[in-house]
């Protein structure tokens, strides 16, 4: 009887192991940390995304995701200029119309109440934010929680005309010197395209904050009072404005320019230099949008200020809506969408599903340092990696859009000839009132 029981127990153990082995094998075979067995098969995800060739490349690959998981996807693409309003509307509607949403990092804090933290899921599935440069990782986090993955993220670079600027600037003093020389040798071409317009997206702060940080100043003090009115901050702001008002090396239309206008000025041969996001590179020599050839376009790191280089980095994370009825399926999608293999392939392959895709944007450190990625993109990722070593992001607080709008208005008025110090002091007073009202300043 004892022998018979042992035989039965052994048979039962073998049966249990046999049942478990296929699952173990499936788990080992699943790529991108996806769960085996297609537990979310039959679900359909609605994805809200900004319009960009980078995300076209991802969308055109999503048949792989559906084949692996059984989850269908439906993408809705929105131009950047309309995306903030759309994101705000989704948060107010609270109906889960979109399971996964794409947004600018500075919009994250005021919308954080409806964006799902993913830290526990990352821990469960062995994913670390250390795969991203520090500034990119921070841009997708708020109050110690990770709200998504920074899938579209940008460092700043200085682009210049090789035929007009044989020695690219290393400092803003160099920019001024080169600009004044260009005004003599090429008077029909503005030396520098900047964007001082108060456009509602706070773009005129993008270069200003490089000056501020390099001067050792910041936007806020530790107690949330305005730090940009320190003497170092004031001097940095004056020097940023002086590019237009004193040295006059900027395009005369820079007061009216938003970033897109500045890029157009460079592409149409009307400006010789532009500090802007790295993604603009391919458009600068695209014959459909530019008068320039690839041989004319060069890039280098952002100029230093007073011997120090600090740059602003930006990202557009993808997050799961707390209102989604398909959160588990949405997490599977985020894992697939953010995997390093896809990041790499999307910057190397120039055709996806029969459509031409030109994209140099990557967000993983491994891709930034990858020799094949750099070879396919003229080494721009290596230049970006150097820029990102000393990068930071805008303040991640819910009140930032309101404070940023005040600063943006002050910068625009200063560039129009206003008193820099008076305008910044007024902006500091308004900022302090906002943060007192919010309870940050005691």
- CATH 3.40.190.10 describes domain 156-312+399-437: yes
Q: What does DSSP say about strands 100-102 and 314-320: parallel, antiparallel, or unpaired?
A: antiparallel
- Backbone dihedral angles phi then psi of residue 361, each to the nearest 5 degrees: -85, 125
- Please identify, in words, the CATH class of the domain defined by 44-154+314-391: alpha beta
Segments of the chain assigned to CATH 3.40.190.10: 44-154+314-391, 156-312+399-437
pLDDT along the chain (442 residues), means of 10: 43 40 45 94 97 95 96 96 93 96 94 97 96 96 96 96 96 98 97 94 94 98 98 98 98 95 97 96 92 96 96 96 98 97 95 92 97 96 92 93 96 97 98 97 93
Radius of gyration (Cα) for the chain, nearest Å? 25
Q: What was the pLDDT predicted at 26?
A: 41
What is the biggest distance separating any 2 CA atoms in the chain, rounded to whole angstroms?
106
The answer to whether the beta carbons of residues 201 and 82 sit under 8 Å apart is no
Angle in degrees, 0-180, between the axes of helices 231-245 and 172-185, rounded to the nearest 10: 10
The answer to whether the beta carbons of residues 73 and 49 sit under 8 Å apart is no
Other Cβ atoms less than 10 A from the Cβ of 41: the count is 12
Write down the H helix ranges in 94-171. Answer: 108-111, 119-125, 134-139
Interior angle at CA 16, CA 12 and CA 21, nearest 5: 145
Q: What was the pLDDT predicted at 24?
A: 37
Alpha-carbon distances of 328 from 45, 103, 113, 320, 441, rounded to whole Å: 11, 20, 19, 10, 39
Query: Sign of the CA dihedral 418, 422, 428, 434?
Result: negative
C-alpha neighbours within 13 Å on the C-beta side of residue 423: 18
3-state secondary structure of 438: coil
Name the token pair of 165.
Answer: 């600027």
Q: What is the pTM of this model?
A: 0.87
């Amino acid at each position: 009887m004892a022998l018979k029981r042992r035989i039965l127990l052994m048979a039962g153990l073998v049966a249990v192991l046999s049942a478990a082995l296929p699952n173990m094998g499936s788990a080992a075979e699943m790529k991108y940390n996806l769960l085996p067995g297609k537990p979310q098969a039959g679900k359909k995800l609605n994805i809200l995304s900004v319009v960009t060739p980078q995300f076209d490349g991802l969308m055109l690959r999503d048949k792989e995701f559906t084949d692996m998981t059984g989850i269908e996807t439906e993408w809705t693409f929105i131009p950047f200029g309309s995306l903030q309003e759309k994101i705000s509307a989704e948060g107010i509607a609270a109906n889960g119309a979109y399971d996964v949403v794409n947004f600018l990092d500075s919009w994250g804090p005021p919308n954080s109440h409806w964006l799902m933290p993913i830290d526990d899921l990352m821990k469960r599935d062995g994913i670390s934010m250390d795969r991203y440069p520090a500034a990119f990782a921070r841009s997708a986090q708020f109050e110690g929680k990770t709200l998504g993955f920074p899938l579209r993220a940008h460092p700043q670079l200085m682009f210049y005309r090789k035929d007009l600027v044989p020695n690219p600037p290393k400092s803003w003093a160099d920019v001024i010197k080169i600009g004044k020389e260009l005004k003599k040798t090429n008077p029909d071409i503005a030396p520098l395209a900047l964007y001082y317009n108060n456009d509602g997206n706070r773009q005129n702060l993008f270069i200003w904050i490089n000056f501020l940080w390099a001067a050792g100043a910041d936007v806020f003090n530790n107690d949330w009072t305005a730090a940009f009115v320190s003497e170092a901050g004031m001097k940095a702001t004056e020097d940023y404005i002086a590019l237009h008002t004193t040295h006059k090396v900027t395009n005369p239309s820079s007061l009216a320019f938003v970033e897109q206008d500045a890029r157009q000025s460079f592409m149409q041969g009307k400006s010789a230099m532009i500090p802007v996001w790295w993604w603009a590179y391919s458009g600068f020599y695209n014959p459909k949008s530019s008068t320039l050839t690839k041989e004319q376009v060069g890039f280098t790191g952002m100029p230093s200020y007073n011997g120090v280089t600090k740059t602003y980095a930006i990202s557009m994370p993808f997050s799961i809506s707390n209102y989604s009825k398909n959160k588990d399926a949405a997490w599977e999608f985020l894992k697939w969408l953010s995997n390093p293999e896809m990041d790499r392939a999307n910057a190397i392959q120039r055709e996806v599903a029969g459509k031409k895709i030109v994209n140099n944007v990557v967000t993983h450190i491994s891709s930034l340092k990858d020799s094949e990625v750099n070879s396919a993109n003229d080494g721009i990722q290596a230049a970006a990696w150097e820029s990102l070593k000393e990068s930071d992001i805008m303040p991640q607080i819910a009140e930032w859009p309101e404070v940023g709008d005040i600063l943006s208005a002050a910068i625009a008025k200063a560039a129009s000839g206003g008193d820099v110090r008076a305008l910044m002091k007024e902006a500091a007073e308004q900022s302090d009132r906002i943060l007192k009202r919010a309870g940050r300043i005691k």
